[in-house]
Amino acid sequence: MAKQQEEARYTEDEVKTLDWLEHIRIRPGMYIGKTGDGSSMDDGIYILLKEVIDNCVDEYQMGYGKKVDITVTKEKVTVRDYGRGIPLGKLIDCVSQINTGAKYDSKAFKKSVGLNGVGTKAVNALSTHFLAYAVREGQKKAAEFAAGKLVKDYKLEKTDEGNGTYIEFTPDNKIFKNYHYLHEYIEQMIQNYTYLNTGLTFYYNGNKYISQKGLYDLLSRKKNPETLCYPIIHLIGDDIEIAMTHNHQYGEEHYSFVNGQYTIQGGTHLLAFREAIVKTVRDFYKKDFDTVDIREAIVAAVSIRIQEPVFESQTKTKLGTDKLHGEERTIKQFLLEFVKENLDNYLHKNPETADGLLKRILQSERERKEIAGIKKLANERAKKANIHNKKLRDCKTHLNDLKDEDRLGTTLFITEGDSASGSITKSRNPDLQAVFSLRGKPLNCFGLTKKVVYENEEFNLLQHALNIEDTIDDLRYNNIVVATDADVDGMHIRLLLLTFFLQFFPDLVRNNHVKILETPLFRVRNKQKTIYCYSEEEKQAAIKTLNGKAEITRFKGLGEISPEEFGGFIGENIKLSPVIVEDKTKVEQVLEYYMGKNSQQRQDFIIENLRIEKDEVDGPEAEVLEMEA
């Protein structure tokens, strides 16, 4: 009883007032989202980089500076623009005093990305090292900080450098534990900046990025022209740009932006766009097509610029604005008016495109009706299978039950066999982590239609567990983690599952939901210390650390790892490798090569590259070769 009373104390002594710097460091999630290790594109270390780049882009939007230099290494991040440069006398305030900036005057930055005067200060506060300098008309002012506190105020000096601002920082590894930047995520971020700011050149680690056709270039880069049902439609208006087409894949593929910000979670503008497309298509063809048939296989990008946008969090990943600033019109009306007029005109002027769109809608309609009966039977089978007892060890809360950072932790582990699922089930967090147990190897579904998803028991039960049989908007878990053994069979199951997701639910992969669980291959220990190793190199290093006197255990399967040990691998120290589809990767071609019927071609490749696989190849390519062998 005394302990409970002590825990419940609520007096003047317990009430604290934090200054802005303390608040950012104690509650970083409120400012930069989750403090992950860099395996997710919405992890805080990428938000830090984005906050700095946003200021460079705002300068370009105002007509100053045509290039941005970015360098990212393990040790530090540097960003240099060539705009006007922060006013020298206000440099320290602009990077270290909360709610300080020039963006409160909507005339100067009326459609800026950041309006709250927080971004760069948050970067400063969450970095062990932060250096900023500004150049204006031959004069340079610099200041250096540590964890947001000024450590060196440099004197004003003359310079030959061009105008602009330079920011250098190192994320605090006490806040971002074991973090690492993934090149693919940064490249994608920079590519998006170029599409939304045509003519602005980025140099990232020496590579040049620029776009001249905006969102048209975005879709062109992501899609193979041979897989499109009709040429990309590109529409541009005042404060709005749209690019769209349909292909022969499943699902919807959307890229939405507000004031140059990639809104990963969409928001009111994306909902409005999706509704506008349906209404316009129905009116044009004078037929009441089903919404699903119109949207199936659509690939689209939409960008709008509005004054004083309201986002659902400081990280600006979802637009919450309903009405346009200073107008009676809503975002929905704005999008509907633009799409109705411009898409309708485009289809009238381009009958071949209109014909291609119609054929794709009719194809989706035929397939939907074909599987309607099968889908009903499959749903009944799923209920009879009592999925929540036999296949799924569910968690207590799900993606749509939670808000903010907590929702990002909802996870479904997909395991092979009862022993592995048993170990994870015993060691998981039952509030947020669920386990789905596979029976045997899944079907190779490459080249098959969605009909197989309902006919195949494993696939049918898996999609029911995820709650995506009707739409992925109802997804129950933020992380879908493939947890298979690190042997040939495990790699094969991994590829079969990835084929399933890429074939039928590619949105899950594109939206960073599908990941691979990395578990240790070795345990190296003596009486004083235990080291878990994820590679042969780490094992050798651990043996040296323990002076060669060590017991070495090779984990052949997840079922061999005790629940007590497993708790460390799926808890705070979990290692997840995201499944990333780069823009230059043509998914259809990759799946056809690795999962198609060209077994002789793959066999010839293995024979020709066998020594390379053994001695030189590392990473995912080696895994694929090992599986094939």
Tell me the pLDDT tens digit for each residue of 375-403.
Answer: 888 888 877 766 655 688 999 998 888 76
> What percentage of the chain has pLDDT greater than the value 90?
54
DSSP codes joined into one string, 9-23: --SGGG-----HHHH
Q: What is the pLDDT of residue 109?
A: 54
Q: What is the mean pLDDT of residues 578-601?
A: 81
pLDDT score of 616 more than 50 = no
Query: What is the band of 611 on the pLDDT scale with cuts at 50, 70, 90?
Result: low
CATH pick for 215-366 out of 3.90.1150.10, 3.40.1190.20, 3.40.50.300, 3.30.230.10: 3.30.230.10
Higher pLDDT, 128 or 596: 128
Q: What is the mean pLDDT of residues 180-197?
A: 94
**Which residues are within 8 A (CB) of 43 and not within 5 positions of it... i.e. 6 or more apart?**
33, 34, 35, 36, 37, 176, 179
pLDDT score of 18 more than 50 = yes
Tell me the pLDDT tens digit for each residue of 428-444.
Answer: 999 999 999 998 899 99
Q: Please state the domain extents for the chain.
A: 22-209, 215-366, 385-519+560-597, 522-554, 598-629
pLDDT score of 411 more than 80 = yes
Tell me the pLDDT tens digit for each residue of 118-171.
Answer: 689 999 999 999 999 999 999 999 999 999 999 999 999 999 999 999 999 999
Tell me the pLDDT tens digit for each residue of 160-171.
Answer: 999 999 999 999
Q: What is the pLDDT of residue 619?
A: 44
Tell me the pLDDT tens digit for each residue of 318-359.
Answer: 888 888 877 888 999 999 999 999 999 999 999 999 999 999
pLDDT score of 48 more than 60 = yes
Distance from C-alpha of 195 to C-alpha of 255, rounded to nearest angstrom? 11
The contacts found for 291-296 with CB under 8 angstroms, 24 or more apart, are 292/364, 292/368, 293/361, 293/362, 293/364, 293/365, 293/368, 294/361, 294/364, 295/252, 296/250, 296/251, 296/252, 296/360, 296/364, 296/368
> Considering the domain 22-209 in this protein, what is its CATH number?
3.30.565.10
Q: What is the pLDDT of residue 628?
A: 37
In this structure, CATH architecture of domain 385-519+560-597: 3-Layer(aba) Sandwich (3.40)
- Identify residue 299 by its one-letter amino acid code: V
Contact 239, 257 (CB under 8 A): no
Query: Positive or negative, the Cα torsion across 120, 121, 125, 129?
Result: positive
Higher pLDDT, 469 or 299: 299
The number of residues making up the chain comes to: 629
Residue 366: count other Cβ atoms within 10 Å of its Cβ.
10
Distance from C-alpha of 11 to C-alpha of 417, rounded to nearest angstrom? 53
Distance from C-alpha of 514 to C-alpha of 578, rounded to nearest angstrom? 7
**Which residues are within 8 A (CB) of 96 and not within 5 positions of it... i.e. 6 or more apart?**
121, 124, 143, 145, 148, 150
Tell me the pLDDT tens digit for each residue of 55-110.
Answer: 999 899 889 999 999 999 988 999 999 999 999 999 999 999 876 655 545 454 55
In the 8-state DSSP scheme, what is residue 247?
B
DSSP codes joined into one string, 116-156: SS-HHHHHHHTEEEEEEEEEETTEEEEEEEETTEEEEEPPP
- Residue 68's Cα: distance from chain center in Å? 23
Higher pLDDT, 541 or 373: 541
Query: What is the band of 273 on the pLDDT scale with cuts at 50, 70, 90?
Result: very high
Tell me the pLDDT tens digit for each residue of 210-248.
Answer: 999 999 999 999 888 888 999 999 999 999 999 999 998
Q: What is the mean pLDDT of residues 584-605?
A: 80
> What percentage of the chain has pLDDT greater than the value 70?
89
Place of tokens 């022993």: 419
pLDDT score of 629 more than 70 = no
Place of tokens 């129950």: 476
Cα dihedral 251→186→579→73 (10° resolution)? 180
411-416 sheet: strands from edge to edge: 392-393, 433-438, 411-416, 479-483, 514-517, 576-578
